[in-house]
Homo-oligomer: A and B are copies of this chain.
Amino acid sequence: MEKRIDIVQRFLKSRAVRFIAMLFILLSITSVVFSSFKDFQQYGWLFQSFIHLASLVFLIEYMLRIYSAPALHPDLPAYRSRLKYIFSFYGLVDLVAVIPFVMTYFYWDTEIVHIIILPYVFVVFKLIRYSTAFQLILKVMKSVRSELLTAFTACLIIICFSAILVYFVEKGAQPEVFKNIGDSMWWAVITFTTVGYGDIYPVTPIGRILCAFISFVGIAMLAIPTGIISSAFIASMKDRLNKKD
């Protein structure tokens, strides 16, 4: 009994499973993407089949993972290590990726497909397990978590302050654009990150001076996470190179 669990675990960690999982994740995402195009609506049944197939594969994977979970924690009783997996981050991601299978098995309608399909968004999360790139970046970000939190807290304070101030300054001139501080915050974030859509911007001289100030501060502040992440990433790259030598 014990041996079979270990074999399953080894199988789940094998290159073949990794490859198949990646394939079905990409197939599933591609199907969701294309099923949203009106031009491809006549192939709805095809995308449906692909999504079903992928879900089925994910269901089998999920069951195998539950079944073989005790192999990961040999010192725990079997049911506890299974519960541990089910309520872990990856366990929940795997579960969410399976739900639509059950749902779409009973109901499939081109009208309501978009609501049902929503959980499929979380299939993207399955990529986290299988993408080494993503895992490396997550690890790097985790190592500078507190510094990033510091920088983003300071950003948030400045955004808050600017949003409230500019709201009171611009409210009179553009009551339809700066309707409330929510709109003002949207403006502050879009300016701070230098995206600048142009749907909302100050027109009064004081508002413009404040906005110019925020843009400059934004650039200065965003230099901090930029510096932190890039230096952490470069350090982790050097570590990997040193290990290879």
By a beta-carbon cutoff of 8 Å, the part of chain A in contact with chain B is 29, 32-33, 36-38, 114, 117-118, 120-121, 124-125, 127-128, 131-134, 136-137, 140-141, 147-155, 157, 160-161, 164-165, 167-168, 171, 179-182, 184-186, 189-191, 193-199, 201, 205, 208, 211-212, 215-216, 218-231, 233-234, 237
Whether the pair A201, B197 counts as a contact (CB closer than 8 A) is: yes
Beta-carbon contact of B165 and A121 below 8 Å: yes
Given the complex, which residues of B lie within 8 Å of A180, measured CB to CB? 36-38
Looking at the assembled complex, report how far the CB atom of A132 sits from the nearest CB atom of chain B, in whole angstroms: 8
Complex Cα spacing A73 to B222, Å? 38
- Copy tally for this chain in the complex stands at 4
Taking a contact as CB atoms under 8 Å apart, the answer to whether A229 and B218 are in contact is no
B32 contacts A181, C-beta separation under 8 Å: yes
- A222-B219 in contact given A38-B180, A197-B201 (Cβ < 8 Å): yes
CA distance A23 to B244 in the complex (A): 46
Given A124-B157, A141-B220, A226-B219; A186-B198 close (CB under 8 Å): no
